[in-house]
Structure 1
Amino acid sequence: MEKATSTRDSPHSPKAVASASPEGRTPDARLPFERDFDRLLFSAPVRRMADKTQVFPLEQHDSVRNRLTHSHEVSNLARSLGNDVVRNTPTLMTSRPEENAAIPVILGAVGLSHDVGNPPFGHQGEKAIGEWFSDRRQWIFDRQTVAEDAKHVDTAAPYSTEFTDFEGNAQSLRLLTKLQVSRDGYGLDLTLATLAASMKYTVGAKGVSTDKTSRTAANKKYGFFASEAQLFERVKTHTGLLDLRRHPLTWLMEAADDIAYSVLDVEDSIEKGLVSFREVKEMLHRQHEKGPADGKDPVIGRVLAALDNAVERVQARNISASEEDDVYVQILRASAISELVGAAGATFRSSWPAIALYEHTESIIESSAGAALAKALQDFAREKAFNNAGVLALELSGRRAVLDLMGWFWQGISQRENFNDPGSRRTNHFANLAYRRISENYRRVFENDEPRDGEGQRLSIRYRELRLLTDMISGMTDGYAMQTHAELGRIHAEYAGK
């Protein structure tokens, strides 16, 4: 385990914390990683996930998950996986008790933050952002030149993939370390260990593998933007993430996420009435028969047995049929999660030699005994729920809002009197209004920060403009996006009509 070093490169030792405490105050005895968790829990970006899509956009049903409830559940599962490892094999990862104590705490923190950079409307929001840039590829990445300055092009073209293939994982790192307002300008000032463990992907956009033979879990997508490349180099230096290495705890965080959406997306689909519990059970019976052990999958078999064993007790309660289904769904959830957590922990322990040498390549869940159960639930939700006509209609309305908002905010960002002065006056009233609707802290970073790429080269003003646009869009909640779309849409229609 690496030192609990923060993004400002200063150790968070108990001694240093105690010496900084005002006279008479009890010293803060929390681990640095516990402070990471607490800072995340109380942060605005985490709270905003309460109004961001997990699967079903603009959901009004209180029992159906949003991005925040999903993240709390992933945090809980990740912590449970950490406890499973350190309690069952206390010398597997480290022989130092204080480091073992830190493992579940770090996993709880990264589980809480893993989706914090996702835009409104989930993956549809990501796709809409990429589509907007792709449709404008011919001009959006270069400055629009004017006659007296015809030879100057301020380009973001080398980094176009960061926008046409927008990645919420990379936005998470930027949000936590740069965009969040803090006392000293270090974002939430999380430890580098927590940042490293939170990164599923350890390459920039140019390092994403398009060749299946060289593709790994760490390079199939990208984990940081050029504007945070130097920060990531510091994370790598202090935590040993050379080449395409993933932090070992990242595998457990990813497994927790896989378990959560595999099981709980199905539960939400039942809660919304898109599928029935009977359909899910029948599907599991079919998949059970396809297993490797005498033609049956043992993990799915144990989940079905848990349901069958509960029938007599549930029916003896003399409750309604709908209440019975609610109880069975709870048993399904608890049994499936228990099986998958146990399978993931066992696979992590058996794979530890390869993980420790950074040679492990396959998802923990996909290589575990629970792989068939997880895949069956994922495929069922995708087929029966995600393609429901009502769900698709809501996704389209969210996509339309994102596309329109990007155009309007782009006017506010780009239509200014002095191209080289990002904070200069806007050239018209609508552009000024749109710019002022962008979060103040995002505008402050845009106007004052001069980011450099991994080679130390200053990134262009055009790059900074595009980054501000994605900062604003990805930071919006579903409800705020729809509200702002309605308000700016009315004003834009009136303004454009003059």
Structure 2
Amino acid sequence: MINNKMTWVNCFSSRRYGFNKEESEIRTEYERDWDRIIFSSPFRRLQNKTQVFPLPEEVFVHNRLTHSLEVASVGRSLGKKIGKHIASLTDVKDNDNARQFYRNNLKNVIASACLAHDLGNPAFGHSGEEAISKYFKNKKDDKVFRDRFSECEWKDLINFEGNANALRILTMQQKGKSKGGFRLTYSTIGSIIKYPCESIASEGKDGEKHLKKYGYFKIDEQVFLDVVKELNMVDHSVNGKIRYKRHPFVYLVEAADDICYNIIDLEDAHRLGIVEYEKIKEFLLAIISTNVDEKIDKVKKQLEILEEDKNEALSYLRAKSINTLTLKCCDVFIKNLDNIIEGNYNNTLLEDIPEVQATLEAISKISVKKIYNYIGVVKLELAGFRIMSGLVEDFVTAALTPKDEREKEHKKILELLPKQFHFKEDESDYEKVMHIIDFIAGMTDLFALKLYRNLRGIEI
């Protein structure tokens, strides 16, 4: 596919996917994206999806919803500062539409994309992603079963990807619902496609940043191609495998997410008594001290006043740290403007801030040791893995059993599928499986647990 060169003037669009009519309203198209996401059922369900820690009754920790709201807040700040800079570029300044977009609306696009970035993540965190694929991985030696799917379809199924699922949720037309899904602007949709390639084109951990995973399921390929065409994204497909360079706005959404989970996981860990206050204080002061505009002595003095309430003290340090990292990510983006718009930037903004790398590496090490291997987290991941993989096995087995061979149990299981996830018997095996995965991946932690107990006879 040949596309025009991407520029700061042609890389955004107010057109809505699946909807051609222009509407005149008080809100801009980009502000409406935010509203459509925040009032949606998939977004509300994030309140009962695990971020990192189990969701306890005694202590409030972040879930996917609160995480997404905080990422959106940081994303808006990034978009506002970067938008102001891009609006001053010569080619943008001379284009009324582009100047107005960057000055007034980039912040709304980035905030909306941040709000939507985790919509595709299933229940129970990353273990839920792996669990969805377990059924198919266990079938890898069954040639007859494997041959029911194309190479790309099979790659989708054995490596379920939450990023690809987010694109699907935002754009797919479910039974009885509007064409185009959420009908978001192409700009917002393009901003969440972190890995703009198909599953067979991904290169894993050793590949380039934008090829480490994949960004769309084969069933949604036309959606993806429509988006990249509308936004003039840079095509670098090889040997017939579809892959594109990232859209520039993706780097801002990714930075907002990276900033939040690096800092906020520590705050939750302190509330749960997993990481001591003094260690977190050391990390966050080290980050804040790299901000030349921040008077560190004044910060420490204010901290002494707040330390009677350690939670309040950490909230103060968290705010200062996020502000520091946000400003530095903006500086990196501006420094690399040309490489980013040309598709030649192969890093994350946060990783390109040398003065904070030692601290971020130390945070990463303590997070792996004390947070991600915390017994409550491990137990939740194991439980989630069994629950999600069990549900996939039950529903996929029933769906892929030929209609005239289904036993009563299979029929009863399929009767549990909500109407919007029903499939036609003449659809391909891959399409049937995707209907099942749509249902299971959208479940909350509690719904998945209850349904699993029901199907296993543990709870009636």
The question of a shared fold, defined as TM-score above 0.5 by the shorter chain, is answered with: yes
Separation in 1, partners of 2:137, 2:234: 32
Distance 1:44 1:181 in 2: 15
Q: 1:421: which partner in 2? A: none
Residue identity matched to 1:78: G
Q: Is the 8 Å Cα contact of residues 53 and 377 (structure 2) preserved in structure 1?
A: yes
For the pair 1:339 / 2:324, whether they are aligned, the reply is yes
The answer to whether structure 1 residue 355 and structure 2 residue 355 are counterparts is no
* Two-structure CA RMSD over aligned residues (Å): 2.8
Residue 433 of structure 2 corresponds to residue 466 of structure 1 = yes
Report the secondary structure of 2:69's partner residue: helix
Shift of 1:449: 9.7
Q: In structure 2, what is the Cα distance between the partners aligned to 1:442 and 1:140? A: 28
Distance (whole Å) between structure 2 residues aligned to residue 65 and residue 43 of structure 1: 20
Q: Which residue of 2 aligns with 1:436?
A: 415
Contact 2:175 2:419 in 1 (8 A): no
Distance 2:334 2:124 in 1: 36
- Cα distance in 1, alignment partners of residues 449 and 30 from structure 2: 36
1:77 and 2:54 correspond: no
Which residue number in structure 2 is paired with residue 260 of structure 1? Answer: 260
Say whether residues 1:203 and 2:197 are aligned partners: yes
Following superposition, the deviation at residue 343 of structure 1 comes to 0.6
Q: In the TM superposition, what is the alpha-carbon distance from 1:307 to its structure 2 partner?
A: 5.2
One-letter amino acid of the structure 2 residue matched with residue 333 of structure 1: R
Contact 1:299–1:373 (CA under 8 A) maintained in structure 2:
no
Deviations 1:212-253 (A, max 9, x none): 4xx322211100010011111111111111322211111100
Q: Which residue of 2 aligns with 1:5?
A: 15
1:123 aligns with 2:126: yes
Displacement of 1:211 after TM fit?
Answer: 8.5
Q: Does 1:314 align with 2:306?
A: yes
Query: 1:136 and 1:299, CA in 2 relative to 1: closer, same or farther beyond 3 A?
Result: farther
Matched, 1:106 2:109: yes
Instruction: Find the counterpart in structure 2 of residue 54 from structure 1.
Output: 51
Q: How many pairs does the alignment contain?
A: 435
Q: Which residue of 2 aligns with 1:423?
A: none
What's the counterpart of residue 371 of structure 2? 385
String of CA shifts for 1:275-328, please: whole Å, max 9, x gaps: 12123235568xx5xx9xxxx97359969756522244336xxx5xxx2x1122
Q: Is the 8 A contact 1:410 1:469 kept in 2?
A: yes
TM-score (norm 1): 0.80
Check whether the contact 1:217–1:362 (CA below 8 A) recurs between aligned residues: yes
Say if 1:154 and 1:394 are closer, same or farther in 2 by CA, change over 3 A: closer
Any stretches of 5+ residues in structure 2 without a counterpart? 1-10, 236-243
Selected match of 1:447 from 409, 424, 448: 424
Aligned partner of 2:216: which letter? Answer: F
In 2: Cα distance, 1:37 partner to 1:281 partner: 34
Quote the Cα distance in structure 2 between the aligned partners of 1:136 and 1:121.
23
Is the 2:149–2:430 contact (alpha carbons within 8 Å) kept by the matching residues of 1? yes
- Please say if 1:409 is aligned against 2:395: yes
Q: Is the CA contact (8 Å cut-off) linking 1:125 and 1:402 kept in structure 2?
A: yes
Q: Which residue type is aligned with residue 329 of structure 1? A: L
CA distance in 2, matches of 1:406, 1:254: 30
Question: In the alignment, is the contact (CA less than 8 A) between 1:4 and 1:192 conserved in 2?
Answer: yes
Amino acid aligned to 2:250: T
Task: Please point out which of 231, 234, 238 is paired with 1:239.
Answer: 231
Q: What secondary structure, in the 3-state scheme, does the structure 2 residue paired with 1:160 have?
A: helix
User: Following TM superposition, by how much is the alpha carbon of 1:366 offset from its aligned partner in structure 2, in angstroms?
Assistant: 0.4
Shift of 1:94: 3.1
The answer to whether the 8 Å contact 1:306/1:335 transfers is no
CA shift at 1:210, angstroms? 4.8
**One-letter amino acid of the structure 1 residue matched with residue 421 of structure 2:** Y
- Is 1:133 the counterpart of 2:110? The answer is no
Query: For structure 1, which runs of at least 5 residues remain unmatched after alignment?
Result: 19-27, 144-152, 419-425, 451-460
- TM-score, scaled relative to structure 2: 0.87
How far did 1:48 drift? 0.5
Q: Which amino acid is 1:428 matched to?
A: E
Partner of 1:22: none
Going from structure 1 to structure 2, the CA distance change for 1:481 and 1:252 (only over 3 Å counts) comes to: same
Moved more, 345-354 or 202-211: 202-211
Residue type at the aligned position of 2:391: L
Conserved? CA contact 1:263–1:374, under 8 Å? no
Tell me, in whole angstroms, the C-alpha distance in 2 between the residues paired with 1:187 and 1:197. 17
Distance in structure 1 (CA, Å) of the matches to 2:295 and 2:221: 45
Listed one character per residue, the Cα deviations across residues 179-213 of structure 1 (whole Å, up to 9, x for unaligned) are: 5567532211112221111110100001112584x
1:448 Cα deviation after fit? 8.6
CA–CA distance in 1 between the matches of 2:298 and 2:454? Answer: 52
Distance, in Å, in 2 between the alignment partners of 1:377 and 1:256 is: 17
Partner residue, 2:92: 94
* Distance in 2 separating the partners of 1:123 and 1:41: 23
Change (3 A) 1:192 1:11: farther
Counterpart residue type for residue 210 of structure 2:
A
Rounded to whole Å, the distance in 1 between the matches of 2:74 and 2:409 is 47
In 2, are the aligned partners of 1:3 and 1:11 still within 8 Å (CA)? no
Whole-angstrom CA distance in 1 between matches of 2:425 and 2:411: 18
Deviation of the 1:330 alpha carbon = 1.0
Over the matched positions of the two proteins, sequence identity in percent amounts to: 29
The alpha carbon displacement at 1:86 in A equals 2.5
Structure 2 counterpart of 1:184, from 178, 182, 187: 178
With over 3 angstroms needed to count, the CA separation of the structure-2 counterparts of 1:127 and 1:305, relative to structure 1, is: farther
Deviation, 1:428, is: 2.7
Hey, what does 1:25 align to over in structure 2? none
CA distance in 2, matches of 1:224, 1:257: 20
Q: Is the 8 A contact 1:72 1:112 kept in 2?
A: yes
CA contact (8 A) 1:200 1:250 kept: yes
- Residue aligned with 1:361, SS: coil
